Amino acid sequence: MSVASAPVPRIPDYELIRLIGGGSYGDVWLARGITGAFRAVKIVWRDRFPDARPFAREFEGITRFAAVSLREPSQLALLHAGRDDAAGMFYYVMELADDAERGRVVDPDTYRPLTLREVHSRRGRLPVGEVVSLGVSLARALASLHEAGLVHRDVKQSNVIFVGGVPKLADVGLVTSASGPEVTFVGTEGFVPPEGPGAPPADVFSLGKLLYELATGLDRTEFPACRRISRSGRTAANSWS
């Protein structure tokens, strides 16, 4: 099912304005609550899963993540979750990312979430101090997940958003219990360690690759190459190996 053809579900107390993202299992909507505040609402559909168990496991992961998200400022705040078995879906409401152009000012017609991928695309290689600061914030978010027995499974630039200028891990629907025989294989090429995703060390590996891209300006698959700056100011690839 394409993003454009996704059905418009009814979510209590929220007006779903338009789709702003989608994936294999769900759709993300820009929504307005009864107070007028803009939020992001993700709808996860049962019929996009091969059977009921992985669908139920995703919902369990979200309910466990909800408590973690509100006690750690570096986590994306999950404000509400619910399910509609008759409609074959569950949903959750999150704080909205900054707009890519206007920050916290949201125009529903033009809104586009500010992701780390967008920042990197615009600015290229980031200063080391900024990379370190981003790394500390995201490592703190992962640590709070891991302490709760949860894993993210897909840490990458496009899954980091900024909320009030603070970097936070997005796509929290992927969050689930740490390694087990039923954990679905989820991840992105180049960010997944040789042993596969689904355990805390795999999240740390992915974060390392993300920071490598930011600090060097190179693709994660080029590791362990780096960039050196010549006296002329030009950059060239170099290898750490």
Query: The dihedral of CA 115, 154, 172, 174: what is its sign?
Result: positive
Is 4 contained in some domain?
no
Is 5 inside a domain boundary? Answer: no
Token duo for residue 8: 């418009």
Question: For the chain, how big is the Rg over CA atoms in Å?
Answer: 19
Residue 98 lies in a domain: yes
pLDDT in 10s for each residue of the chain, 241 residues: 444 455 678 999 999 999 998 776 889 999 999 999 999 999 999 988 888 888 888 888 888 888 888 888 888 999 999 999 999 999 999 999 999 999 999 999 999 999 999 999 999 999 999 999 999 999 999 999 999 888 988 899 999 999 999 999 988 876 777 655 555 556 677 788 877 777 899 999 999 999 999 999 998 888 888 765 444 444 555 544 4
> Alpha-carbon distance 144 to 153, whole Å?
14
What pLDDT does residue 222 have?
A: 83
In a domain, 139, yes or no: yes
Q: Read off the DSSP letter of residue 153.
A: S
**Domain with 133 in it: what CATH number?**
1.10.510.10
pLDDT at 3: 45
Cα dihedral 158, 162, 163, 169, rounded to 10, equals: 50
Tell me whether residue 24 is in a domain. yes
Q: In whole angstroms, what separates CA 55 from the centre of its chain?
A: 19
Total Cβ atoms within 10 A of residue 154: 22
pLDDT value of residue 55: 86
Which residue type occupies 99?
Answer: D
Q: Is residue 2 part of a domain?
A: no
The token pair at 17 is: 């304005």
- Is residue 31 domain-resident? yes
Note the residue count of the chain: 241
* Residue 217, phi-psi category: left (phi > 0), alpha (psi -120 to 50), beta (remainder): left
Answer yes or no: is 65 within a domain: yes
Phi/psi of residue 214, nearest 5 degrees: -65, -40
Token reading at 162: 């900024």
Range of the domain at 181: 14-239
Domain count for the chain, please give it: 1
Q: What is the pLDDT of residue 2?
A: 43
